[in-house]
Amino acid sequence: MRITLTVNGTRHRLDVEPRRTLADALREDLGLTGTHLGCEHGVCGACTVLVDAEPARACLMFAVQADGSTVRTVEGLAAPDGTLDPLQEAFSTCHGLQCGACTPGMLMTATHLLEVEPAPDRERIRAEMAGHICRCTGYMGIVDAVESAARAVRAPS
Amino acid sequence: MTAVEPQPVGEHRPATGTAVRRKEDTRLLTGRGRYVSDLVLPRMRHVTFVRSPIAHARLSAIDTTAALATEGVHTVFTGEHPAMRAVSLRARSALPGYVETDQPPLARGKVRFAGEAVAAVVADDRYLAEDGAEGVDVDYEPLAPTVCAWAVPTDPVHDEAPDNLLLSRTFRAGDAADALAQADVVVERELTTNRHGGNPIECRAGVARFDGADRRLTFWSGTQVPHLVRTQLAELLELPEGDVRVIAPDVGGGFGVKSVLYPEDVALCLMAIATPDTALKWVEDRVEHLLAATHARDHRYVLRAGFAADGELLAVTADVWCNTGAYSVYPWTAGIEPLMAGGLLTGPYKLSHYEATVRGVATNTSPSGPYRGVARPSTVFAMEALMDSGARALRMDPIALRRRNLILPADIPYKMPSRLVDDSGAYEACLDRAVEVFDVERWRAEQARRREAGERPIGIGVGIYNELTGLGRAASAGPRMPFRTGHDACTVRVNPDGRVTVFSGVTSQGQGLETTMAQVVADALGVAYDDVTVRYGDTDESLWGFGAFSSRQAVIGGGAAQLAGTDVRDKVLALAGALREVDVSDLDLRGGQVYVRGQEKPVIALAEVARVAYLQSDRLPEGFEPGLEGTKFYDPVRGAFAAGVQIAALEFDPVTGGTTILSWVCVEDAGTIVHPVIVDGQIAGAIAQGIGGAMYEHLVYDDVGNLTTGTLLDYLMPTAGEIPELTIDHVSTPAANPTGARGVGEGGTLAPNAVVAGALADALGVEVDDLPVTPARIWALLHGGADR
Ligand code: FES
Ligand code: FES
């Protein structure tokens, strides 16, 4: 089936089988391998992308369901010159990542959280990020990172 | 916690001890990581394994006709394929009585666990390969499965071991029976620990390509041990080792699960050899991972401990069964868990009389392998359960009883009853610090207040442990295998522009070794951290490294990096001295500039020395060869024990069985810390996995060997909602190795079982014998009845 997706600002026309997941369309057809697959059954959160500004599990969504949508992936976060966005920067300084497998999903959910709620407290951050599994960090660095990015966004220096 | 700022020329701020920006972060944060799962090669084909739905059966016919007729399918391999037939993974050990058994790359003759690969389908993409897999028709003739390691088998898993016993060993020191008879108090416990596993977020993955003309194999693998994999593949596939290249690029977590060479890996390479010049890719999904990647910690402990009236621990006896699953894990063997259990059971406590019989028993379940902490989360639970029971019987404070028996600095080096030599002695220092940071008195007062007020009970749990890290040749990991894992190599090369490339034998699955090695070399050599680039995980680039296990890389790979950096520094200074006609002993290299000691201005830049070394042989003084690099191996011979203590306060709800962690403190002795944030990250992540194992994670088989927890909806890993804020603190006694580091990869996982179980007993007065400590288990302990 022919579909159109706008991914990180670029329009793509794709011909996909109806059973092809959005994750595979992004990773295999568009080469955007930043979106990771940790379970392929909707639990781990690694594949989270923003579809029309809402977090979605790209492993549970068929590419055809995203026809006409605007998709944001981890590759779209940094500025074109490579400058990291405040969340990415905070993940680095707060050691919110180790192996990086869960990180793209974490970043996308956190991006959404800070867009809808600029000043979440730690408990709120934990609740929001609880749809993701990180096997490396023990989560503290991730919570620290989201908290500190929220501060940085509110008070740009 | 910020990145290093640009520094003035010639200034050298040590990188060690500071939280420099991790070199791996930018690519991992921008979606530009290079994981095996991401790899695309021209005309690459995709592999799906067909897995047995039955735990134990004879394999009769496998009909691949329908599969081969499926659109997009190229080939189907089975265990009887000429490419597969003759190859077996056979984990070897010289341990007396160890029964060697074969593991085929694809099942041959019979299947031994549900999930074992029986066929492999090669197709144009993964969807088509899975379509093809549905067309593979396998006839199984069921045999009686054995799931429990302490049950008597009807049909043995391997004919060579009719009782399923693959190995058994007794550790003995002193006279435990006599000492128990003399003890004032004897406590007995019978415990089981729950089967669970590492579950890195990136599952297993591999790409294999065989160049037909050159007969060279390249295997991209998410492995923790690329050099070992190269050696093993060369042996198994009968290729010259120099014609096998193993590349582990970015790897999405390992935790021991990826330190195994799996039958799927070997099958993939064999298939690649059978279809030359065609890259084959296999990416495992989570359901396969839960079924067929190694499990761990399915153990039973029958224990007795004798104490004197003053609390002195007099004797411990243990009977231990470790469920090794269907195969002796390659190359670590079925001995990996039982031998670690018997060797480290007594932990940080002084003990003269010890007798422990440990067994590795085959069953029709997924093979057990190394998982972060190997066996010790179970043994620390066992030992601390004895301490807690002992304290109750003696009416002593549980912390005081532990303190009474700790190995102290004056006892070092202390020969444990298993004859391992403990060089730490920092247990009491860690305990003192933990008691202070946690504030035991405050929590005891709160506990009393709640009792008085009839509020929800809280309990305090304690776990003290020794993490055996950085094992050298005399303490090598694993049971008398055909290799000794004591050393790693590192090459430091100054390039013609004066910048530095490090070819390290370490590997990284998130531990930040790229950063740590760069820090160590920057300081040893005398250059800025930003001028050092690290290559690792490619056997064609780095000389040698055993890889990531036993918390060894900061100690051993770091030691090699330190030695190689120093070696090259000496070479730079020698050449600089000859070029400037200055005595070498007066020279110093800092921030990429060579100084005469005491003078403010540099005499020559490293870049100029390097230029001479590579490009201006006319300027090379007599006796100097071109080039500027050095390679060193390091082997610590023994190991570096790392002491650790965790104390926590947990609240229990007697009505629902619910548990809330109120405070969790960990104090470890990491020796000299190279990167403080990476070290704390290792500890935090390890504690989180330990809490997962203690409270949530359980791989459950039914009686006929079906895994009933086959998805992440049934196999629960903790999230940010379950893992509390952790307080991590340190004492520091530098180890006797080049960097002074002690390993920190595993320690955090060791205590949570003990801490959670101990807190439950402390709060509610019920001893929990079986893990994990779930709400259902707590409820059943309080109210009687079954817990599942
Ligand atoms: S891969 Fe989509 S939720 Fe795990
Ligand atoms: S950083 Fe490895 S899973 Fe989160």
pLDDT tens-digit series, residues B343-384: 999 999 999 999 999 999 999 999 999 999 999 999 999 999
Q: How crowded is the C-beta side of A13, counted as CA atoms within 13 Å?
A: 1
DSSP-assigned letter for residue B685? H
- Phi/psi at B310 (nearest 5 deg)? -85, 5
Is the pLDDT at A135 greater than 90, yes or no?
yes
In a domain, B712, yes or no: yes
Kind of pairing between the strands at B500-504 and B488-494: antiparallel
**pLDDT bracket for residue B477 (50, 70, 90):** low
C-alpha of residue B788 to centroid of ligand 1, in Å: 28
Instruction: Select from A76, A101, A120 the last residue of a domain.
Output: A76
Please report, for the domain that includes residue A66, its CATH number: 3.10.20.30
pLDDT at site A156: 60
pLDDT digits (tens, 9 = 90+) for B657-697: 999 999 999 999 999 999 999 999 999 999 999 999 999 99
Q: Let me know whether B272 and B331 are in one domain.
A: no
Q: Please tell me the total count of domains within chain B.
A: 3
Cβ neighbours of residue B734 closer than 8 Å, sequence gap 6 or more: B671, B672, B740, B741
Angle at A50 between CA A44 and CA A51, to 5 degrees: 115
CB contact under 8 A, A92 and B29: yes
In a domain, A64, yes or no: yes
C-alpha of residue A135 to centroid of ligand 1, in Å: 14
d(CA B386, CA B390): 6
Is the pLDDT at B236 greater than 90, yes or no?
yes
Q: Let me know whether A50 and A16 are in one domain.
A: yes
Q: What average pLDDT is seen over chain B?
A: 95
Using the Cα atoms of residue B614, residue B620, residue B624 and residue B625 in order, give the sign of their dihedral.
positive
In a domain, B365, yes or no: yes
Is the pLDDT at B512 greater than 50, yes or no?
yes
Give one DSSP letter per residue of B687-701, joined into a string.
HHHHHHHHHT----B
Does the N-terminal peptide bond of residue B240 adopt cis geometry, omega within 30 degrees of 0?
no
Q: Let me know whether B641 and B771 are in one domain.
A: yes
B512 neighbourhood in chain A, CB within 8 Å: 98
> Where is pLDDT greater, at B549 or A47?
A47
pLDDT at site B640: 86
Q: Let me know whether A93 and A55 are in one domain.
A: no
Q: A44, A109, A137: which to mutate for ligand 2, most atoms within 8 A of CB? A: A137
> Where is pLDDT greater, at B614 or B554?
B614
Residue type, B495: N
Does the beta carbon of A87 sit less than 6 angstroms from any atom of ligand 1? no
pLDDT at site B382: 98
pLDDT digits (tens, 9 = 90+) for B383-438: 999 999 999 999 999 999 999 999 999 999 999 999 988 888 899 999 999 999 99
Residue type, B266: V
Window 98-127 of A, Cβ < 8 Å to B: 98-104, 107, 122, 125-127
pLDDT digits (tens, 9 = 90+) for B739-768: 999 999 999 999 999 999 999 999 999 999
User: For B254-261, what is the mean pLDDT?
Assistant: 97
Label residue B464 exposed, middle or buried (CB < 10 Å: 0-12, 13-18, 19+). buried
Q: How many CB atoms lie within 10 A of CB B508?
A: 26
CB contact under 8 A, B717 and A135: yes
pLDDT at site A155: 80
Is the pLDDT at B1 greater than 80, yes or no?
no
Terminal Cα distance for chain B, rounded: 46
pLDDT at site B345: 97
Q: Let me know whether B288 and B299 are in one domain.
A: no
pLDDT at site B7: 44
Strand order across the beta sheet in which B587-590 lies: B587-590, B593-596, B604-605
Q: Which of B582, B666, B695, B699 is nearest to B199 (CA)?
A: B699
pLDDT digits (tens, 9 = 90+) for B566-580: 999 999 999 999 999
In a domain, B230, yes or no: yes
A35 DSSP β-pair partners: none
C-alpha of residue A94 to centroid of ligand 1, in Å: 24
In a domain, A81, yes or no: no
Q: Let me know whether A140 and A96 are in one domain.
A: yes
CB contact under 8 A, A139 and B720: yes
Give yes or no for a contact between B157 and B325, defined as CB atoms under 8 angstroms apart: no
Residues spanned by the domain of A64: 2-76
DSSP-assigned letter for residue B103? B
Q: Let me know whether A72 and A8 are in one domain.
A: yes
In a domain, A30, yes or no: yes
Q: Let me know whether B440 and B372 are in one domain.
A: yes
A73 neighbourhood in chain B, CB within 8 Å: 31
Buried b (16+ CB within 10 A) or exposed e, B295-324: bbbbbbbbbbbbbeeebbbbbbbbbbbbbb
- Phi/psi at B550 (nearest 5 deg)? 50, 35
Q: Let me know whether A52 and A26 are in one domain.
A: yes
d(CA A136, CA A97): 8
Q: Let me know whether B74 and B217 are in one domain.
A: yes
d(CA B294, CA B204): 11
**Residue A134 parent element (H or E):** none
pLDDT digits (tens, 9 = 90+) for B316-339: 999 999 999 999 999 999 999 999
Residues with CB under 6 A from ligand 2: A 97-103, 134-137; B 201, 253, 510
B461 DSSP β-pair partners: B648
Is the pLDDT at B506 greater than 90, yes or no?
yes
Q: Let me know whether B740 and B758 are in one domain.
A: yes
Give yes or no for a contact between B751 and B688, defined as CB atoms under 8 angstroms apart: no
pLDDT at site B784: 83
Label residue B599 exposed, middle or buried (CB < 10 Å: 0-12, 13-18, 19+). exposed
C-alpha of residue B318 to centroid of ligand 2, in Å: 37
Instruction: Select from A47, A76, A105 the last residue of a domain.
Output: A76
Instruction: Select from B594, B610, B634 the last residue of a domain.
Output: B634
Is the pLDDT at B785 greater than 90, yes or no?
no
In a domain, B184, yes or no: no
Q: Let me know whether B364 and B466 are in one domain.
A: yes
Q: Let me know whether B558 and B606 are in one domain.
A: yes
Q: How crowded is the C-beta side of B579, counted as CA atoms within 13 Å?
A: 24
In a domain, B479, yes or no: no
Is the pLDDT at B104 greater than 60, yes or no?
yes
Q: Which of B767, B502, B745, B527 is nearest to B631 (CA)?
A: B502
d(CA A97, CA A105): 12
Q: Let me know whether B534 and B602 are in one domain.
A: yes
A73 to A7, A88, B126, B638: CA distances (angstroms): 7, 13, 23, 48
Is the pLDDT at B788 greater than 70, yes or no?
no
pLDDT at site B652: 97
CB contact under 8 A, B30 and A94: no
Give yes or no for a contact between A145 and B25, defined as CB atoms under 8 angstroms apart: no
Q: Let me know whether A65 and A16 are in one domain.
A: yes
Is the pLDDT at B46 greater than 80, yes or no?
yes
d(CA B746, CA B761): 26
In a domain, A19, yes or no: yes
Of B681, B689, B713, the CB nearest to A98: B681
Give yes or no for a contact between B293 and B259, defined as CB atoms under 8 angstroms apart: no
Torsion of CA B70, B74, B79, B81, to 10 degrees: 120
Q: Let me know whether B447 and B306 are in one domain.
A: yes
Q: Let me know whether A123 and A66 are in one domain.
A: no
pLDDT digits (tens, 9 = 90+) for B271-292: 999 999 999 999 999 999 999 9
d(CA B344, CA B335): 14
In a domain, B392, yes or no: yes
In a domain, B168, yes or no: no
Q: Please tell me the total count of domains within chain A.
A: 2
Q: Let me know whether B281 and B304 are in one domain.
A: no
Of A40, A101, A130, the CB nearest to B252: A101
A126 neighbourhood in chain B, CB within 8 Å: 720-721
pLDDT at site B638: 86
Chain B contact for A137, CB < 8 A?
yes
**pLDDT bracket for residue B474 (50, 70, 90):** confident
> Where is pLDDT greater, at B8 or A144?
A144
Please report, for the domain that includes residue B355, its CATH number: 3.30.365.10
d(CA A17, CA B412): 67
Q: Let me know whether B101 and B243 are in one domain.
A: yes
pLDDT at site B4: 43
Instruction: Select from B608, B634, B660 the last residue of a domain.
Output: B634
Does the beta carbon of A55 sit less than 6 angstroms from any atom of ligand 1? no
**Residue B226 parent element (H or E):** helix B226-237
pLDDT at site B468: 87
The packing angle between helices A103-116 and A86-93, to 10°, is 130
CB contact under 8 A, B198 and A88: no
The first and second tokens of residue B117, run together, are 């690969």
Is the pLDDT at B647 greater than 70, yes or no?
yes
Instruction: Select from B634, B655, B671 the last residue of a domain.
Output: B634
Using the Cα atoms of residue B779, residue B781, residue B785 and residue B788 in order, give the sign of their dihedral.
positive
Residue owning the nearest CA to atom 4 of ligand 2: A134
pLDDT at site B2: 38
Label residue B170 exposed, middle or buried (CB < 10 Å: 0-12, 13-18, 19+). exposed
pLDDT at site B6: 44
pLDDT at site B684: 98
Residue type, A72: R
CB contact under 8 A, B201 and A75: no
Instruction: Select from A76, A108, A137 the last residue of a domain.
Output: A76
Please report, for the domain that includes residue A98, its CATH number: 1.10.150.120
Q: Let me know whether A66 and A91 are in one domain.
A: no
Residues spanned by the domain of B121: 37-143+203-251+257-292
Q: How crowded is the C-beta side of B306, counted as CA atoms within 13 Å?
A: 17
Please report, for the domain that includes residue B269, its CATH number: 3.90.1170.50
pLDDT digits (tens, 9 = 90+) for A11-63: 999 999 999 999 999 999 999 999 999 999 999 999 999 999 999 999 999 99
- Phi/psi at B510 (nearest 5 deg)? 120, -10
pLDDT at site A157: 52
d(CA B556, CA B742): 10
> Could you tell me where the beta strands, DSSP code E, fall in B601-639?
604-605, 629-634
d(CA A113, CA B395): 52
**pLDDT bracket for residue B8 (50, 70, 90):** very low
Nearest CA in chain A to B20: A93
Does the beta carbon of A45 sit less than 6 angstroms from any atom of ligand 1? yes
In a domain, B575, yes or no: yes
User: For B34-55, what is the mean pLDDT?
Assistant: 98
A12 DSSP β-pair partners: A5
- Phi/psi at B679 (nearest 5 deg)? -60, -50
